[in-house]
Amino acid sequence: MRILVTGVAGFIGMHLSIRLLELGHEVIGIDNLNDYYDVSLKQARLNHITGEPVGSGQNNRPNQFQFHKLDLCNKEGLSRLFAEVKPQIVINLAAQAGVRYSLENPMAYIDANLIGFTHILELCRHQQVDQLIYASSSSVYGLNQTMPFSEADNVDHPLALYGATKKANELLAHSYSHLFDLPTTGLRFFTVYGPWGRPDMALFKFTKAIIDGTPIEIYNHGDMVRDFTYIDDIIEGVVRLVDHPATPDKHFQPDQPDAGTSSACWRIFNIGNGQPTPLMDYITALESALGKEAVKTFLPMQPGDVQATSADTARLGEWVGFRPDTPVSEGVSKFVSWYKHFYQIG
């Protein structure tokens, strides 16, 4: 199939594109290559997708992958691209990520996560795309403290603008599924980590700091729990959903609505490891992989953060026959091996 992937130079976008190409799909990737974090890492990911050794000028997958530098807010550019390539499936991973950055630059979230996402919905509608799969986030659960988080839970109390925009994405998608019969599937990712990860995420920052001998900042004095999910498990879930588009829930009851399904062709799934891990255990796994103890600075909880996350992945398992299960110790070790190789650390 011809699949358009937005945010293709991102952490998840790169891994997903490589897997789709290996499965024989054609991938059209778009990314604006913004400078929210190191652009050279994004370019290296693009090189990795094409199988191009850095600086070689060679593309080992010339007929399967094409890249377009494009912003989701550029509706005219997106319209031209959709009309030209006519994608059958769209996987929207482009977004302004991060919780703390939203305190400094809220408009970046409105532009990318709301305006840009609406452009994608409109183009999927008018180009009669077979289905839209899009990234949501565990951040939508906000004040919810019922563990593990279920798609059936109410998610009306996000704690940060990022989570609010992701909840808005789910609502916008539902209206398009209902009005225009566009199958849409929202994926609530839980703390994704692994090789080629984002430099603003804890694992990346902690690894660099420990190697450099500088302190790592640990919020809420270490009393944090996260459902850390290895990148390969995320990709496996997304790829399986390509072959299982959203359909109406025949058992949906409007008088007692299920928050994760609908009478429209709209579905929401958690993709998490289902094994919440205390942050201090995560750090211990990293210290073990690096063979070096971290210098720790303990700080209060940051605005917009939650104390714990935990994913109920039963619905994903029922829908596609897969539930993430990579142990944290294994995933962290693979990240450290990649990090040392990529940054040429002996």
Pairing of strands 184-189, 131-137: parallel
| Cis, peptide link before residue 148, omega less than 30° from 0 | yes
Query: What is the dotted CATH code of the domain comprising 2-191+231-274+309-325?
Result: 3.40.50.720
Q: In angstroms, rounded to a whole number, what is the distance separating the alpha carbons of residues 174 and 265?
A: 8
Mean pLDDT per block of 10 residues along the chain (346 residues) reads 98 98 96 95 96 52 83 97 98 89 89 97 97 97 93 93 96 98 98 96 96 96 97 98 97 93 98 96 98 96 90 97 96 98 92
253 within 8 A of 218, measured Cβ to Cβ: no
Q: What is the pTM of this model?
A: 0.95
User: What residue ranges do the domains of the chain occupy?
Assistant: 2-191+231-274+309-325
C-alpha of 75 from chain center: 23
Q: Which residues are catalytic?
A: 162
| Cis, peptide link before residue 300, omega less than 30° from 0 | no
* Tokens describing residue 269: 């799934």
According to DSSP, residue 67 is labeled: E
According to DSSP, residue 140 is labeled: G
Residue 97 pLDDT: 85
Residue 52 pLDDT: 61
